[in-house]
């Protein structure tokens, strides 16, 4: 088993939880706000102060579980306590918002903490979220993580092909463009890195670039390079030049700008009669 905090991004846990919350009682809302400010210990105190008979009890229990995952220093004891709370939320009411969120966080714990033995549990958790609550906020978060676990795994070719088909079918069912984007990009990356299949990866990347959903560095600069390289591999120098040119326009000071400039110059020379 990995160390108690291996792989965790405490603030990411906080912000995901905050993003999914609606209007809540003042104490619970204050807890989420403290989490967003990285004050996990104070957040945990606020969530724990909610009375057991309060209508917001389940929301507060979820907040307490996320606070334990986010608290530093991380320990195996805190993670175990968080798991216990999350499992209780799932058992009591798996279909309400805290129950759905708890299922997601349990899958994340398995993915990030347990190493290879935890992967099957994480995969099962993500698949269940997508099957039972496909429109939920947390199912959308689960999709690219499921793709990462399934596609970047050492399995026989026929099993990998089945997994690839599962993810490709999943993309069309996802509810948000962001989830479709992230899952497409993971599939494209796997097709290139593991199968050298530029023909199938290239349209996935182009779809994301044309939708203008990829805006963050290093995601956009990396994607522009991958798209240009795939276009070259497919014998489409004009399209490759477009993506190299966009890279140089948007990232002129990137460490790879000189290399990209040389590639673009070579394409231009080859295009001359």
**Region 109-116 average pLDDT:** 79
Task: Provide the pLDDT for residue 74.
Answer: 87
* Within a domain: 173: no
The whole-model pTM stands at: 0.86
Task: Provide the pLDDT for residue 114.
Answer: 61
**Region 191-215 average pLDDT:** 91
Separation between Cα atoms, residue 76 and residue 83, nearest integer Å? 10
Task: Provide the pLDDT for residue 17.
Answer: 56
Reported as a single tens digit per residue, the pLDDT across 228-250 is: 999 999 999 999 999 999 999 99
Six token digits for residue 200: 């199938």
23 and 94 in contact (C-beta within 8 Å)?
A: no
The CATH number given to whatever domain includes residue 92 is: 1.25.40
Task: Provide the pLDDT for residue 209.
Answer: 92
Task: Provide the pLDDT for residue 211.
Answer: 83
Domain membership of residue 128 as a residue range = 1-133
* Within a domain: 122: yes
Residue with tokens 């069309």: 172
The neighbour count for residue 33, using CB atoms within 10 Å, is 15
Confidence of residue 16 (pLDDT cuts 50, 70, 90): low
* Within a domain: 143: no
Higher pLDDT, 32 or 9: 32
* Within a domain: 149: no
Confidence of residue 217 (pLDDT cuts 50, 70, 90): low
107 and 113 in contact (C-beta within 8 Å)?
A: no
Separation between Cα atoms, residue 110 and residue 122, nearest integer Å? 5
Residue 271 to residues 34, 114, 235, Cα–Cα distance (Å): 58, 52, 12
4 and 79 in contact (C-beta within 8 Å)?
A: yes
Angle among Cα 80, 81, 85 to the nearest 5 degrees reads: 115
Task: Provide the pLDDT for residue 116.
Answer: 67
107 and 70 in contact (C-beta within 8 Å)?
A: no
Higher pLDDT, 19 or 181: 181
**Region 174-190 average pLDDT:** 95
Share above pLDDT 90 across residues of the chain, in percent, rounded to a whole number = 74
User: What's the mean pLDDT when you consider all of the chain?
Assistant: 88
Task: Provide the pLDDT for residue 53.
Answer: 84
138 and 17 in contact (C-beta within 8 Å)?
A: no
- Number of structural domains the chain divides into: 1
* Within a domain: 234: no
Lowest model confidence (mean pLDDT) among 5-14, 135-144, 178-187: 5-14
**Region 42-71 average pLDDT:** 92
* Within a domain: 88: yes
**Region 145-158 average pLDDT:** 96
* Within a domain: 226: no
* Within a domain: 125: yes
């Amino acid at each position: 088993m990995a160390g108690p905090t291996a792989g965790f991004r405490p603030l990411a846990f906080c912000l995901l939880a905050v993003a999914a919350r609606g209007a809540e009682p003042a104490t619970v809302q204050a807890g989420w706000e403290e989490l967003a400010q990285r004050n996990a210990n104070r957040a945990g105190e606020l969530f724990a102060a909610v009375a057991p008979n309060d209508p917001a009890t389940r929301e507060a229990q979820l907040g307490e579980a996320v606070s334990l995952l986010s608290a530093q220093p991380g320990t195996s004891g805190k993670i175990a306590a968080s798991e216990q709370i999350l499992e209780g939320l799932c058992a009591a009411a798996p279909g309400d918002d805290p129950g759905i969120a708890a299922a997601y966080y349990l899958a994340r714990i398995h993915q990030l903490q347990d190493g290879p033995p935890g992967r099957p549990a994480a995969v099962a958790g993500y698949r269940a979220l997508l099957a039972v609550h496909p429109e939920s906020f947390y199912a959308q978060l689960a999709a690219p993580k499921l793709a990462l676990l399934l596609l970047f795994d050492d399995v026989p070719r026929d099993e990998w092909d089945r997994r690839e088909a599962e993810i490709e079918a999943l993309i069309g069912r996802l509810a948000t463009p962001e989830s479709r984007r992230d899952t497409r990009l993971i599939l494209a990356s796997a097709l290139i890195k593991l199968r050298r299949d530029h023909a199938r990866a290239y349209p996935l990347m182009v779809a994301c670039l044309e939708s203008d959903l990829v805006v963050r560095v290093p995601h956009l600069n990396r994607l522009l390079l991958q798209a240009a390289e795939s276009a070259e591999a497919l014998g489409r120098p004009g399209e490759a030049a477009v993506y190299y040119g966009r890279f140089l326009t948007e990232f002129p000071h990137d460490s790879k700008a000189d290399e990209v400039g040389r590639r673009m110059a070579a394409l231009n020379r080859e295009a001359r009669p």
